[in-house]
Amino acid sequence: MDDVEIKASGSLYSFAPDGTLKTLISGTRVSNGLAWSPDYRTFYFIDTPTGVVMAYDYDLATGEIANPRLVVSVPPELGWPDGMTSDIEGMLWVALWGGAKPTRWNPATGQLVAEIPLPAFNVSSCTFGGPDLTDIYVTTAREWMSAAQLAEYLLAGGLFRIRTKIQGMPTFEFGA
């Protein structure tokens, strides 16, 4: 991506265990959140400046994506969609840069179903962990914050753990 995040000069790549590199999506500005549906048949992707989450049909055997469609449109007043993860109920957890919260969205309806306010303005990503994958870990940043924002959001740049009753999706070791 370019330094000012205006030119659509970025891409999303897939790197296979055999060393094969292929371009999946071209013309992105800030490639960010990646997630999959519980059946691994849908891939979700965020290009932050667009303010949306896109879905693609996903072929688990080949890693190919097809049929792009908009599933979530984040209102600008909530912040910018950044990092993302998914849970076993098929919901998407989207970190909101400049929004001070991770949010939970239903990709089937595009509706916001939950939000967790944090004492940190720039929420950058989230993922599930813990013994039962029911803790959500949320990263935040201090970059590009004004002195007033830093005074208001004293824990900006911190890592947060939030205990939930919702189980996240398992992750896999590369090449396994």
Q: Which residues are tagged catalytic? A: 82
Q: What are phi and psi of 77, to 5 degrees?
A: -70, -15
User: Buried b / exposed e across 115-138, counting CB within 10 Å, b at 16+?
Assistant: bbebebbbbbbbbbeeeebbebbb
Both tokens of 163, joined, read: 């205990």
Whether 67 and 56 have beta carbons less than 8 Å apart is answered as: yes
Of 26, 48, 28, 46, which is closest to residue 86 (Cα–Cα)?
A: 46
Q: Residue for token digits 């004293």?
A: 154
Both tokens of 61, joined, read: 């055997």
How many CA atoms lie within 13 Å of 69's alpha carbon, on the beta-carbon side?
Answer: 11
Question: If 0-12 CB within 10 Å is exposed, 13-18 middle and 19+ buried, where does residue 8 land?
Answer: middle
